[in-house]
Structure 1
Amino acid sequence: MLAGTLLAPPTMAGAQTAPDEPITDPVPEDPVPSRLGLVLEEYAQLPESEPTPAPTDVRLMRHNRINYIGEVPDGSGRMYVPDLNGPMYLIENGTQHTYLDIKERFGDYFSGRGLGSGFGFVTFHPEFADNGKFYTVHTEDRDAIATKPPTYPNQPNAFVQSVVTEWTADDPSADEFSGTQREIFRFGFTTQIHAIQQIDFNPTAEPGDEDYGLLYLAVGDGGTGLNDTFTQELDNPAGKILRIDPAGTDGPNGQYGIPASNPFVGEEGALGEIYAYGMRDPHRFAWDRGGRNAMYLGHIGQRAIEAVYEVRKGDNLGWAAREGTFRFDPAQQCVLYPLPEDDEQYGYVYPVAQFDHNTPAGWPCNSDSGHAISGGQVYRGDQLPVLRGKYVFGDLVDGRVFYSDVREMRQGEQPATIHEMQLFDASGKRMRMTDFVGDGRVDLRFGIDAEGELYLLAKANGKVWKVVGTKWGNPSEVTRQVERNLVAHFDFEHPFSPAGDARELDQGSSRTLLELVNGGENMRVADGAFPDSNNALQTRQVNPAGPGNDDWKAGVWAGDADGYEALKAFNGVRGITVMGWFKMTGTNPSPNTTTANPDDLYNAVGLAGVLSGDSEGHNVRALLEVINVNGELRLVALGRRIDGGSSQTFAAQQDWRELLPQGQWVHLAATFDYANGTMALYRNGKKLPGFYTVPGDPWRVDGSGTSPTNPRGIKIGGSFPQNNAERNPCNCRMDSLMFVDKALDADTIQHQYRRFHHR
């Protein structure tokens, strides 16, 4: 076997780790937040469509499954959009219609299992205007496998076959296809995933160039490459990028040719079609239409790394011995390992950009973590000069959009910095792709037109947006002073789609998954406490007539006495701050469902707090709440230093109804200094006058912090986040809740409050 170009392994974070010591956070420098943003304008809304057969995987139950947009290379300005469920649409002058329905053409058509099954891609020959030729790839089911032989034999236990078809239009300018078709390639896969995702021509090649008119096929590993070596073997197409000549005839079936310039032509036991190899799921590739005309591949990883590769002839990307710039062990998929000292001998090439999954706490790493790269395009258009020379790509699941500068994206060098871009609608309002689509799972794709302008697509609502401008956005809503100690931050803009949007992904250091108890995704409402916020959390009492466990609240809970490991920053801590935005949206306090008297009310309204290490779901280490103090409800900070010990309460003097008026967003903060035995309350950045309710020294202050135990969790909008009881519900909305492992000073809190409105 011919190895790829020999390169020195990049020096990555963790490179000093011992060879057999696992790396649990392989790329700690997450995509860097950028002030640069894209302005999106809705370009098209495509029709609903359904997979065949009817799916059982909810990830396939989308508005439709559009997966690319490009421009027909005939000067007509027509844009084409394939849908995995079968149709190919043409869009011209704001109108759209079906040009060809692949599903109707093939009786064995299959798109009902596997995220990439169905009509995977379409590409047009560079001379389409004259020869009318274009190419599609789709999947077929077991009936086809039994009757239609693959291009290469010996594919046992195949579940689907990917079929590449050449179409020749009678009239290339027609609005609907009429013409002939011929099959040029067919290959089977053991499972329904990682088949052939994209086929394409190099748009930078000119007549007479080596690459002109050659068709690239991105062939996945069928989902089984991690436990086998066939992606490293050159006698089969799986886990490879192939390059073929659709006008040739010397392929094994006589339906295509093998370019003589391919890297493994003439090598004994190797397929001449192979251009590069060692891949898991080569999802999307594109060429830079400027600069060095490099080919960039967005490669979907297994459990940890999403990567962009610069692909050159003969390259070996290393799967399944490598994932990104790390050693991969199929038996230990949740962690990666440093590269061995002798790595250079293997000749693997490494990513030019990569990011890790950063799996949230409490979520099994062997489950869907909600991340997969969506390969993009290098911008070389004229309308957005600030984007020129940037490779724009994203996370197809959560819809984040990134860029890296192609000047930093070179083989053999350190991976380029990845920047996360902001997004704006046409009115200039900052949004996230989850807002644009109204769903926590975006299914994001990218496209480009003949002028090099960018488009974004989403299966979630079947829409296409054109990037019509750039805009410099505001910095992070979190100040640097707060960020240093920010353990958990829930802004309700980050639904965790693998949990059906019923959990919120923490933006703090702990990566805690917040459960939206009972109400699930319905608790995330279109409201915001400050200009750049689009969503808030709704909590409420559901049934005031009697006892039950149906109130809407939120929280995390550790099922054992060791507490919630992700919140270990609050173990023995000397100070805590709890703060966030709150808006009363109903009657508070709520009827007390634990007593027989229907006129009884709870004596408290739960806002947000950190539980103690021995909590049963109610007792706290630090809590912001409205509670009865000497027969009168007051806004309070309620804290406990020692597990099982007494609590202290600091109450605001002002009437709580004035502090939290109905229907008005208010920013509140409570600080707890355990070492000095002091607490404080703040409203809209200003310190509130108040008093302690317990005389003496209930905390038993000795200059140290809290008990050296992990909290049992966090409670929001009421007690018992484990949902085995109800107490003190809040009929309210909350936004940008922050839990900090320090008692912040007044200036820091005021600065943080001002940041929300003056960014």
Structure 2
Amino acid sequence: MRRNRWWAVASTLAVAAATLTPLTATTTATAAGPGAPPIPPAPTPSTLGLVLEEYAQLPKSDPTPAPTDARLMRHNRINYIGEVPDGSGRLYVPDLNGPLYLLRDGEETRYLDVKAQFPDFFSGRGMGSGFGFVTFHPEFAKNGKFYTVHTEDRDAIATKPPTYPNQPNAFVQSVVTEWTATDPSAETFSGTSRELFRFGFTEQIHAIQQIDFNPTAKPGDDDYGLLYLAVGDGGNGVRSDVPQDLSTPAGKILRIDPLGTNGPNGQYGIPATNPWAGQDGAIGEIWAIGMRDPHRFSWDAGGKHEMYLGHIGQRAIEAVYEVDRGDDFGWPDVESRLDYQNETQCRLDPMTPEQAAKGYDFPVASYAHDTPANWSCNADSGHAISGGLVHRGDLPGLYGKYVFGDLVEGKVFYTDAAQMRDDLDREATVREMQLFTTDGKRVRMPDLVGDGRIDLRFGTDAHRNLYLLAKANGTIWKVVGTRNAPVPQEVEPSMRGDVVAQYDFEHPFAADDSNEEDRGASRTLLKLVNGGDQMRVDDGAYPGSRNALQLRSADAATGALPWKAGFWDADANGAESLSRFNGADGITVMGWFKMTGNNPTPGYNAVGLAGVLSGNSDGHGVRALLELIQVNGELKLVALGRRIDTGSSQTFAASQPWQDLLPNGEWVHLAATFDYTTGEMALYRNGLPLDGFYTASNDPWKIDGTGTSATNPRGLKVGGSFPQNASERNPCNCRMDTLMFLDREVTADEVAAQYARFLRQKD
């Protein structure tokens, strides 16, 4: 049996990311067999980066029928780029909505409209529905043959029999078609077609994602001219053992001979070298089993020409597998190397000894993600692996690295192919690459596409150039170089372990970009109330920052709603994700602020900036807050805090006029610190302490040397009160950038160092 075990990770960042997830709560070191617990770490940041140059933007297209799922409402749905194997240099790009494009030097020609050829064509539901993939026969230049897969709707199911009949309650059918071009060199298709394979799926998800030939196979090789089909489980794996059932194609990789005739319908052949060919009760097309959503596969042009598969997980593990003849990846019995049970899918347990003894094939690389603390574990988590390819071209530092990514949030990763072997004792380390434009600016994919959901894919050409694609704006980028640069470290080292929540507004939550991802330990989404993604604006408080958050008051004349942000937990026990503020000895609230309008709004006598709510808060009461409020009849910048939930607050007010501290149109860094054990509070502006005074001369906090109430805060508020949007009392017409909430009182030296660190960031 293959040896598969986990390993200790030295990176503090990676370990922190792994240990924060509740998935590890029930994991023990021995329950899954040899080695440490099988929860992989988050990808480790790398100094290596890709330099991207826009290569093409393809035309807008729409699904059929019109979708109701916003995730399908993209500029188009391009999902691969490859090169026609005829020496012409033409690149091909399929669009799930129907078109097949050929590209020369970034200029497209519509070669074929697959949608127009099939009256029952369906692409209006399901992330992979429509014209899923195209691949060209290795002898296309001579025989003109290429192959597509697309989905058809219920009308087709009622009238067109599947290749295999065991497709109960099918919702869509995947159809593999062979096309023969009259003139293979033509820029538009003319010729004939025939159907090879048809199979139905209970849901509109996890159908046939990719079909492809092994480009490393040569004439005379057993694999030459054989077509691989990555067939998903149709969503059935969570309720049945279909991916383990050898009598059905679902949840498998198939291998067929498209020019053969011994298949069940006579339209293709079954290679005799397939692992289950001729076995009673098994369909001979099967090459490997036990898959949920085998999304993308490729062969290494170097090495031993290994086949690698990017497999989208159900719960929290995105994995890369080396695919060999007869492999079983264990789904739905296990997910990656964890026990999967549908009734408890919001957690994953270690494999049982019985599962560990079954000899499943485990990933050669994987990374963990978990749903945010305030997001349903059964909802789209904003993560899914996009399988890539091993680079064997001439990009410096990238040779021999398997490049892949997270298709939803658009992060790009790599592993070393030499480490991606299923006979090793450890998986390959996954590293996240940086991205740069040709003018040297560091960017993220959301910066390039203007959307939090990227829908990232990868491709290559005959010269082994690397390409990235995004459905969000229908754009293709060519990787024109690599660059090594220090990994940005935005937080001062002495403070990194104390950041409970951090929001820089560069990280929209891919599953719903009206939320901002937390870069701190709490994994708490910040809701952008009323304005959603429109509240992210093209502005930055310091070098390297590209986005800021726009806040505003309501406008009765236009009916505009107030824009604010925050998180509210209606549970009387407060937000568990913010439990590090429970009984804390101190808190620090800091961030960048820029006034962008009239403050305070007429009719209000305060301007809310940012704060941590108390444990019994109605959405207004706070534990620690930066704000502008009336002090002795004059608006002042203040730090306002409360030690005991039911007790009184204390206020430390800056002596200078607030207009001098926060001039309109100018970015300013502010910090407020609270020491609940001594009652000391402080305010800072641009790294320097501000003179100020306490508004209460007595002891409203009832200082006794201990911290705050032993309760979890009810949430966070930004730009105004009541993050649950119940009311409004102190709107801020302003912008904010990189808000940080720490569970201790930082020192004056640390505030100064943090401010200086922001200014040293590279653009």
TM range (shorter): over 0.9
Give the alignment partner of residue 120 of structure 2, picking from 104, 108, 111: 108
Corresponding position of 1:618: 620
Alpha-carbon shift at residue 378 of structure 1 (Å): 1.3
Between 290-299 and 682-691, the greater mean CA deviation after superposition: 682-691
Corresponding position of 2:195: 183
Conserved? CA contact 1:26–1:356, under 8 Å: no
Corresponding position of 1:538: 550
Q: Trace 1:286-685 onto structure 2 (pairs within 5 A).
A: 286-382=298-394, 384-412=395-423, 413-473=425-485, 474-499=487-512, 501-543=513-555, 550-592=561-603, 602-685=604-687
Question: Identity, % of aligned pairs?
Answer: 68
Deviations 1:463-490 (A, max 9, x none): 1111112223442312332220110011
Conserved? CA contact 2:6–2:38, under 8 Å: no
Paired with 2:342 and 2:391, the residues of 1 have a C-alpha distance of 37
Corresponding position of 2:754: 752
Conserved? CA contact 2:271–2:285, under 8 Å: yes
Alpha-carbon shift at residue 556 of structure 1 (Å): 1.0
> What one-letter code is carried by the residue in structure 2 that aligns with 1:224?
N
> What one-letter code is carried by the residue in structure 2 that aligns with 1:662?
N
Alpha-carbon shift at residue 321 of structure 1 (Å): 0.4
Conserved? CA contact 2:4–2:362, under 8 Å: no
SS of aligned partner of 1:143: helix
Conserved? CA contact 1:110–1:117, under 8 Å: yes
Relative to 1, partners in 2 of residues 1:615 and 1:545: Cα closer, same or farther, differing over 3 Å? farther
SS of aligned partner of 2:350: coil
Corresponding position of 1:240: 252
Corresponding position of 2:11: none
Question: Does 1:69 pair with 2:81?
Answer: yes
Alpha-carbon shift at residue 543 of structure 1 (Å): 2.1
Deviations 1:127-147 (A, max 9, x none): 212221111111112222222
Paired with 1:533 and 1:469, the residues of 2 have a C-alpha distance of 23
Conserved? CA contact 1:199–1:216, under 8 Å: yes
TM-score (norm 1): 0.94
Alpha-carbon shift at residue 45 of structure 1 (Å): 0.8
Question: Does 1:162 pair with 2:174?
Answer: yes
Deviations 1:75-117 (A, max 9, x none): 1111100001111000113321100111111122111111111
> What one-letter code is carried by the residue in structure 1 that aligns with 2:649?
S
Paired with 1:62 and 1:392, the residues of 2 have a C-alpha distance of 24
Conserved? CA contact 2:83–2:461, under 8 Å: yes
Q: Trace 1:153-302 onto structure 2 (pairs within 5 A).
A: 153-302=165-314
Between 721-730 and 689-698, the greater mean CA deviation after superposition: 689-698
Paired with 2:221 and 2:94, the residues of 1 have a C-alpha distance of 29
> What one-letter code is carried by the residue in structure 2 that aligns with 1:247?
L
Conserved? CA contact 1:445–1:456, under 8 Å: yes
TM-score (norm 2): 0.94
* 5+ long unaligned stretches in structure 1: 593-601
Deviations 1:506-550 (A, max 9, x none): 11111111111122222111111122211111111122679x993
Conserved? CA contact 2:396–2:482, under 8 Å: no
Paired with 2:528 and 2:6, the residues of 1 have a C-alpha distance of 42
Relative to 1, partners in 2 of residues 1:342 and 1:146: Cα closer, same or farther, differing over 3 Å? closer
Corresponding position of 1:144: 156
Deviations 1:692-738 (A, max 9, x none): 22213222222111110111111111111122221111110000000
- Give structure 1 regions of 4+ aligned residues with deviation exceeding 3 angstroms: 5-15, 17-20, 25-28
SS of aligned partner of 1:51: coil
Paired with 2:370 and 2:758, the residues of 1 have a C-alpha distance of 27
> What one-letter code is carried by the residue in structure 1 that aligns with 2:682?
A
> What one-letter code is carried by the residue in structure 1 that aligns with 2:746?
L
SS of aligned partner of 1:208: coil
Give the alignment partner of residue 734 of structure 1, picking from 733, 736, 746: 736
Alpha-carbon shift at residue 603 of structure 1 (Å): 2.7
Paired with 2:427 and 2:82, the residues of 1 have a C-alpha distance of 29
Deviations 1:400-459 (A, max 9, x none): 111112222221432222212222222222221112111111111111111111111111
> What one-letter code is carried by the residue in structure 1 that aligns with 2:521?
S
Paired with 1:574 and 1:183, the residues of 2 have a C-alpha distance of 70
Conserved? CA contact 1:35–1:475, under 8 Å: no
> What one-letter code is carried by the residue in structure 2 that aligns with 1:502?
S
Paired with 1:731 and 1:28, the residues of 2 have a C-alpha distance of 43
Paired with 1:743 and 1:114, the residues of 2 have a C-alpha distance of 49
SS of aligned partner of 2:397: helix
SS of aligned partner of 2:660: helix
Conserved? CA contact 1:609–1:621, under 8 Å: yes
Between 502-511 and 408-417, the greater mean CA deviation after superposition: 408-417
Paired with 2:705 and 2:545, the residues of 1 have a C-alpha distance of 39
Alpha-carbon shift at residue 196 of structure 1 (Å): 0.6
Q: Trace 1:94-105 onto structure 2 (pairs within 5 A).
A: 94-105=106-117
Paired with 1:628 and 1:545, the residues of 2 have a C-alpha distance of 27
Relative to 1, partners in 2 of residues 1:364 and 1:17: Cα closer, same or farther, differing over 3 Å? farther
Paired with 1:307 and 1:158, the residues of 2 have a C-alpha distance of 28
Paired with 1:18 and 1:693, the residues of 2 have a C-alpha distance of 58
> What one-letter code is carried by the residue in structure 2 that aligns with 1:752?
Q
Corresponding position of 1:722: 724
SS of aligned partner of 2:570: coil
Corresponding position of 1:595: none
> What one-letter code is carried by the residue in structure 2 that aligns with 1:672?
F
> What one-letter code is carried by the residue in structure 1 that aligns with 2:670?
L
> What one-letter code is carried by the residue in structure 1 that aligns with 2:400?
G
Deviations 1:243-299 (A, max 9, x none): 111122211112211112211223222222111000011010011111222111111
> What one-letter code is carried by the residue in structure 2 that aligns with 1:444?
L
Paired with 1:7 and 1:471, the residues of 2 have a C-alpha distance of 36
Paired with 1:627 and 1:155, the residues of 2 have a C-alpha distance of 66
Paired with 2:750 and 2:430, the residues of 1 have a C-alpha distance of 30
Corresponding position of 1:596: none
Paired with 2:528 and 2:730, the residues of 1 have a C-alpha distance of 17
Between 682-691 and 96-105, the greater mean CA deviation after superposition: 682-691
> What one-letter code is carried by the residue in structure 1 that aligns with 2:583?
G
Between 571-580 and 143-152, the greater mean CA deviation after superposition: 143-152
Paired with 1:279 and 1:331, the residues of 2 have a C-alpha distance of 19
Alpha-carbon shift at residue 560 of structure 1 (Å): 2.9
Deviations 1:577-604 (A, max 9, x none): 1001100101111112xxxxxxxxx332
Between 699-708 and 154-163, the greater mean CA deviation after superposition: 154-163
Paired with 1:59 and 1:311, the residues of 2 have a C-alpha distance of 30
Alpha-carbon shift at residue 63 of structure 1 (Å): 1.1
Deviations 1:596-652 (A, max 9, x none): xxxxxx332111011111222222111111222222222221111111212222222
Alpha-carbon shift at residue 11 of structure 1 (Å): 6.4
Give the total of aligned pairs.
739
> What one-letter code is carried by the residue in structure 1 that aligns with 2:166?
N
Deviations 1:352-374 (A, max 9, x none): 12222311111110111111111
